Amino acid sequence: MKRIFLSIVLTLFLGLGTYAQDIIPSLPNINNIRTVGLYQVKDDVTVYKFPDENSQILYRIRWNSEEFFPQEIGAENFFELFIAKKNLALVNVVDIADGWVEIIYNEKTGETGWIQEDDPYKFMTWTNFYNAYGKKYGLKMFKGAPALCKDLRSAPDDKAQIVSTINMPHRINLNVIRGNWALVSVLDLDKTPKTGFVRWRSDDGVRYFFPSFK
């Protein structure tokens, strides 16, 4: 009996420990290429099938610093970004219409649903998000990003001259976003400063860089 009790306690402890960790994307995700930005969610969210209170309720999602419900979705699939100490609980947005926000509520499957918009200022376009946090914290390149993302070009164009290459960056500073391109200043481990345009996002919406939250 004692072993069973200890096993349950250990399972709960490990489960809560996993959720308590920050959730920050590290790989390109093809399930959210249709997204237009991010929305700051509350700790109790009702997800509807359509933007109508009378439509089918898909899920009621609740969370706190220790638990997330329903477990079948999981915090790592609901949040695009979760950092408790910064009060950031952001989900991917597909569309906004008349007081409703269409979100991806399951990153693993790409399933979407609608939540009621409680504050229009909680939505950030991708450009606004990168300008706010990319400029503050710098950028990191996703693992698995194509090699072309390391090319620093003289202009925001795939045919522009390659002026340098990112090797082992100590920091990537974001200067400005221009469409799917970002003007960055890079300090590699060899302490050689480099500046140029990199592709932070593909033409179909796959992101290769993300703010380097610390």
pLDDT digits (tens, 9 = 90+) for 34-56: 899 999 999 999 999 999 999 99
Averaged pLDDT in 10-residue chunks for the chain of 214 residues: 40 41 90 91 97 97 91 95 93 96 95 96 96 96 95 97 94 96 93 94 95 91
The pTM for the full model equals 0.87
Which backbone phi and psi does 120 adopt, to 5 degrees? -60, -20
Helix (H, G, I), strand (E, B) or coil at 16: helix
Residue 76: how many CA atoms within 13 Å on its side-chain side? 11
Is residue 117 within a helix (H) or strand (E), and if so which, with residue range? none
CA–CA distance, 186 with 138 (Å, rounded to integer): 10
Give CA separation, 149 vs 77, 166, 201, in Å: 26, 8, 9
Token pair 């179909």 is at which residue? 204
Q: What is the pLDDT of residue 53?
A: 95
Domains in the chain, start-ordered, CATH in brackets? 2-118 (no CATH), 127-211 (2.30.30)
